[in-house]
Structure 1
Amino acid sequence: MTPIRYAIAPLHPEAHLFAVTVTVDAPDPEGQTFSLPAWIPGSYMIREFARNIVRIRADDARGKVALTKVDKQTWQAAPCEGPLALRYEVYAWDLSVRSAHLDTTHGFFNGSSVFLRVDGQDDQPCIVEITAPAGEAYANWRVATAMPEARGRDGAKRYGFGRYQVANYDELVDHPVEMGEFALASFKACGAQHDVVFTGRVPGLDLQRISRDLKQICEAQIRLFEPRSARAPFLDSNRRYVFMTMVTTDGYGGLEHRASTALMCARGDLPVRGNSETSEGYRTFLGLCSHEYFHTWNVKRIKPAAFVPYRLDQESYTPLLWLFEGFTSYYDDLILARTGLIDDKQYVEMITKTWNGVLRGNGRTKQSVAASSFDAWTKYYRQDENAPNAIVSYYTKGSLVALALDLTIREKTAGRRSLDDIMRALWQRYGREFYAPGAVQRGVTEAEVYALFDEISGLRLGALLRALTEGTGEIGLVPLLRAFGIKAEAQKAPAAMTAAALGIKTRVEDGWVRVTQVLDDSAGQAAGVSAGDLLVAFDGLRVTGGQLDKLLARYRAGDQAELHVFRRDELHVMQLKLGREPATQYRVTVEEGRHALRARWLGQ
């Protein structure tokens, strides 16, 4: 098959513009159409990437070809003879893992935000020429990507600019690219090469420690899914995996791909040479890496039926994100415990933090994780001031669902079966075999997921699974944890019972304290406080950033107070009856000594 040819170059880094060309040798004789995705897999929100195309034209061998915009993301060229080339510029100024960013320090892009799809020719192989920006200032720039280098003399060298080649458009948009001057390290996990790339200044960055720790995480996950062969899933086509991280002051985020992940982290979270302590920030970074790496199996290859194939021009609805994101969120920290990067007490503290976080939101009583999954496009990814009162996270509550199911299976089978067995079965039936050469991929349906739990566990879990995923009741973790030597107690100490609470969330803006959210059944809601209000004074004392909690600490639940706020530049005075912290909090402790079930669960 004749490949589709792409070329991309940082045309004007100072103006944040990529120049892109797509050339098709055999365009549709009735007029070839081209389209750009509206969303990127792993981030369930319509993002309208086509809005960043600032100019576009089409040419064939005879000259300019008429180009008509059909809809918000589609263009059609007039009938012509090939080759037909579209040349366009993309504005890249989204410093995130989802889109594209370019300046004089680096360039980054996901294919879904820069490469137009040649409609009707999705299955054609694609060649990509990645060109360095012009000028001596960019002489030391390199390229980091898991995209395979093109074969032959014209192929790019590893980490170099030049030609790359993929099997089809789906693969093209699943290999993000980082370019610039970056720190680089490599390690092997179960024989597979893994590269670690950091863009941004981190004095004293301990690449050796990061590589050592990530090696343990990667090997644990490979062996979880492939205990016999210990074979990484990306070896057949890409041969390696790339962690590419943009380092900022306070960034956090990740997006999974078939053989790589794009990450953002805070500079202070990374370890430095000569300091062997493991900070909470570094644990957070390792957990993020673990999460995105687990997606190499769970969602990149084991997919919900609604994602096969991806329809990138419109929403793809599934009620199963609790499985693909929630279960991944469960395993990310569990893998840290199993590798010894954290101890069992630290792991239980992480569970407790997640559990108490879910309890603080009243949305858990109104929305199930299945409904949250289905409504991700309109609710979870479009959160507003009422989000804590209306929605539940399929990430955090989904991880608690996974915890409850894992502990249930382990207890009822005396440790002979676990959630690990379910995940391996999902991989073997709906992941591995569909990536063999010539195989036609398919996704897993909701009914197949439910049936698999019963079959693999040997238990009747249907009613419990539906209650956990389709219901809004509390998850009965207390007795489950007790069976593993972990004690959970509702924490209602006198100070927590009597301390005053407004039940609002705020942020500081230019010295003002603005209300961002008001929780259900709170003192603030009862007094009429609304999102957007600027807090002026509390009981006659000025409210400034960081001072509200200190002021509240002088009061007790049930006390009366007066609150002054600006709303639409009008001053309002509100009478408050201060409330208590609304949600039950749990204190969880690990019993001393070795516990057989717990040891098998945590691997310690």
Structure 2
Amino acid sequence: MLHSPARVVPAVVSAANLGVAPVSYRISSSDLGGHLFTVALTVVSPDPDGQSFALPAWIPGSYMIREFARHIVRLRAESGGKKISFKKTDKHTWQAAPCAGPLTVHYEVYAWDLSVRAAHLDRSHGFFNSSSVFLRVLGQEQQLHEVDIVRPGDAACAGWRVATALPERNAKRYGFGTYAASGYDELIDHPVEMGEFVLSTFTAHGVPHDIVISGRTPNLDLPRLAQDLKKICEAQIAFFEPRSKRAPMQRYVFMTFVVGNGYGGLEHRASTALICARSDLPVIGKAEMTDGYRTYLGLCSHEYFHTWNVKRIKPAAFAPYDLQNENYTSLLWLFEGFTSYYDDLFLLRSGVIDISAYLSLLGKTVNGVLRGSGRKKQSVAESSFDTWGKYYRQDENAPNAIVSYYTKGSLIALALDLTLRAETGGRSSLDSVMQVLWQRYGREFYSPAGGRGLGENEIEALIEEVSGCRMKRFFDRYVRGTEDLPLDSLLAQVGIAYSDTRKIAVPGLGVRLSNDHGESRVASVYEGGAGHRAGLSADDRLVALDGLRIPGSGPDGLLERYRPGDSVTLHVFRRDELLELRVRLRADDAPQVKLSLAEKPPAAANIFLR
């Protein structure tokens, strides 16, 4: 439930005391080998003119039309034991013939998307986001929704449990049975994991938080993970509610599916679904902070921060969501970018990493932004608006055409934070802005009184109000414009040295490579680099440089024997044709920014801790 000064209790908490739900689902793992969920949807009082149903075309938090309805295999409807005809009105909408009700729709969903966005089912586990498996009953979205999750009959599933933040209605926690949601919007904001998983629970300012790890994880140091996540969660709760330390949920679930090599996360109002590499998780007896574990904690921190920023503080375009069409906003640089700034920052503030590790992470972000020329062609406001067609549909030319509202958005947050602190003598900061956003837009969003989303043009005025600083020039240059942020000077003011240590004497091809089964494949060609000038293209397979074989890891070792300006012969396969290219090597001008504390930093260097 939403903790607020008014102590509002949502209707879903009392769902167990209600009678038959107006909308109910029964989901079964009907064919593990065939990856099929079977769903029975019952509507007690269907529209007398013919009830319509639709499956969302996308899932909030992942801004691309995915057309989940394409995974529905077959569908039939009945009422009172009689078959009810229906017709499909568009690619994700069906309408049943008029009937008195109750109306039950039976359908199968193919679930073989091993990601955090849709559904996946086999003999090892089951996972689903409700937006990809549960039809929306049009016109009845605000009614109580009930979900009966059925235990699979297969003997291989005898030890399976259920993990979800959905409130139990007729089920024990972690058990199969009936769960409830106050409406469709809440229903699709609670993913479900089924299987044999490792479970741990900690409390953060009085709220239970579950850690659910699915997949083989030998020697997992679960106590360490719980200890680190507790620190991060408590720091974030106290950040938004420094006095009461009230979390905006009554329970939270971190659910992670472990694979050999993978990474991803999707936020929800009381949980997050994550995918990570097995090597990213901590191991018993190994106390060092590995890069992989730090990355995993940063992912958890990112999705947890979204509990406030985007799940409750929302752009107006998402309040409410239009689940069948694109929802355009120019503010994702704020909702994703600011979250990307605070995710690693809270690793530092919680004490999970130190300042040196934090500056190293920050330096990697700076290098990533400066590497692509797309930052000079597209603003973060444009990138946010274009996410449906560009950011989530990146191709080989993406570094030369677009800018990430995640990474440059995080640097805008950093620059804004430093600017506000400097111009107000430390009286105001980005922290102040986030807390006001929470108080005005987020705290009451899910209360009966409701809330509203942040308008497209409101954030600039709000920052000016909170800080007393004029923001137009900043927004014109860095948010609506494409200028690089003056991070070197801003960081210098707080005792952090900014140096670019690029190896200007070492030549490079100016391409991004991937090791594709032992072959060095060109993933992207950077505009203006040696490869671009010589005619290299994405998907070219590098074979040899001056007659010497190029390994899957790339030609860097060979290039160390050359100088900028030297010409080399490069043999590549393009499709099935062998090409010979003459390449004039250029200095590797990829940015290599390094951030470090000055020898005698002023006290302001500790701003990241406050």
TM range (shorter): over 0.9
Identity of aligned residues (%): 60
Taking structure 1 as reference, are residues 593 and 339 closer, same or farther at Cα in structure 2, changes over 3 Å only?
farther
1:157 is the counterpart of 2:199: no
- 8 Å CA contact retained: 1:454, 1:462: no
1:184 matched residue in structure 2: 199
State how far apart, in whole Å, the 2-side matches of 1:434 and 1:519 are.
44
Number of aligned residues: 591
Deviation per CA, 1:103-135: give whole Å up to 9, x if none: 101000000000000011111110100001003
Aligned with 1:398: secondary structure?
Answer: helix
State how far apart, in whole Å, the 2-side matches of 1:309 and 1:125 are.
18
1:391 is the counterpart of 2:398: no
Stretches of structure 2 lacking an aligned partner (at least 5 in a row)? 1-19
1:86 is the counterpart of 2:105: yes
Q: 1:132-211 alignment to 2 at 5 Å?
A: 132-150=151-169, 155-211=170-226
2:434 matched residue in structure 1: 423
State how far apart, in whole Å, the 2-side matches of 1:600 and 1:581 are.
34
1:364 is the counterpart of 2:379: no
1:480 matched residue in structure 2: 490
Name the amino acid aligned to 1:446.
E
1:598 matched residue in structure 2: 605
1:566 pairs with one of 567, 573, 577: 573
State how far apart, in whole Å, the 2-side matches of 1:466 and 1:106 are.
49
- 8 Å CA contact retained: 1:9, 1:131: yes
1:498 pairs with one of 494, 499, 505: 505
Q: 1:69-108 alignment to 2 at 5 Å?
A: 69-108=88-127
State how far apart, in whole Å, the 2-side matches of 1:355 and 1:205 are.
33
2:17 matched residue in structure 1: none
2:557 pairs with one of 550, 553, 571: 550
1:40 matched residue in structure 2: 59
- 8 Å CA contact retained: 2:504, 2:589: no
2:584 matched residue in structure 1: 577
State how far apart, in whole Å, the 2-side matches of 1:593 and 1:342 are.
21
Name the amino acid aligned to 2:97.
A
State how far apart, in whole Å, the 2-side matches of 1:144 and 1:9 are.
15
State how far apart, in whole Å, the 1-side matches of 2:288 and 2:575 are.
49
2:10 matched residue in structure 1: none
Q: 1:248-263 alignment to 2 at 5 Å?
A: 248-263=259-274
Aligned-pair CA distance for 1:510: 4.2
1:63 pairs with one of 82, 90, 93: 82
Taking structure 1 as reference, are residues 571 and 601 closer, same or farther at Cα in structure 2, changes over 3 Å only?
closer
Aligned with 1:572: secondary structure?
Answer: strand
RMSD: 1.3
Aligned with 2:77: secondary structure?
Answer: strand
Deviation per CA, 1:161-200: give whole Å up to 9, x if none: 0000110000011100000000000011011110000001
Deviation per CA, 1:236-286: give whole Å up to 9, x if none: xxx200000001111111000000000011111111222221111111111
Name the amino acid aligned to 1:433.
E
1:218 pairs with one of 230, 233, 239: 233
State how far apart, in whole Å, the 2-side matches of 1:562 and 1:45 are.
42
Name the amino acid aligned to 1:311.
D
- 8 Å CA contact retained: 2:444, 2:450: no
Taking structure 1 as reference, are residues 550 and 433 closer, same or farther at Cα in structure 2, changes over 3 Å only?
same
State how far apart, in whole Å, the 2-side matches of 1:138 and 1:160 are.
13
Name the amino acid aligned to 1:228.
R
TM norm structure 2: 0.95
1:111 matched residue in structure 2: 130
State how far apart, in whole Å, the 2-side matches of 1:509 and 1:475 are.
35
Aligned with 2:48: secondary structure?
Answer: coil
1:231 matched residue in structure 2: 246
2:476 pairs with one of 466, 469, 481: 466
State how far apart, in whole Å, the 1-side matches of 2:594 and 2:125 are.
45
TM norm structure 1: 0.96
- 8 Å CA contact retained: 2:495, 2:600: no
State how far apart, in whole Å, the 2-side matches of 1:585 and 1:62 are.
69
- 8 Å CA contact retained: 1:200, 1:248: yes
- 8 Å CA contact retained: 2:338, 2:413: yes
Aligned with 1:323: secondary structure?
Answer: helix
42-51 or 62-71, which deviates more: 62-71
Aligned-pair CA distance for 1:567: 2.2
1:298 pairs with one of 280, 284, 309: 309
2:420 pairs with one of 409, 433, 437: 409
- 8 Å CA contact retained: 1:359, 1:585: no
- 8 Å CA contact retained: 1:287, 1:336: yes
Aligned-pair CA distance for 1:593: 5.4
1:456 matched residue in structure 2: 466
Name the amino acid aligned to 1:189.
A
- 8 Å CA contact retained: 1:200, 1:246: yes
2:540 pairs with one of 521, 533, 536: 533
- 8 Å CA contact retained: 1:344, 1:602: no
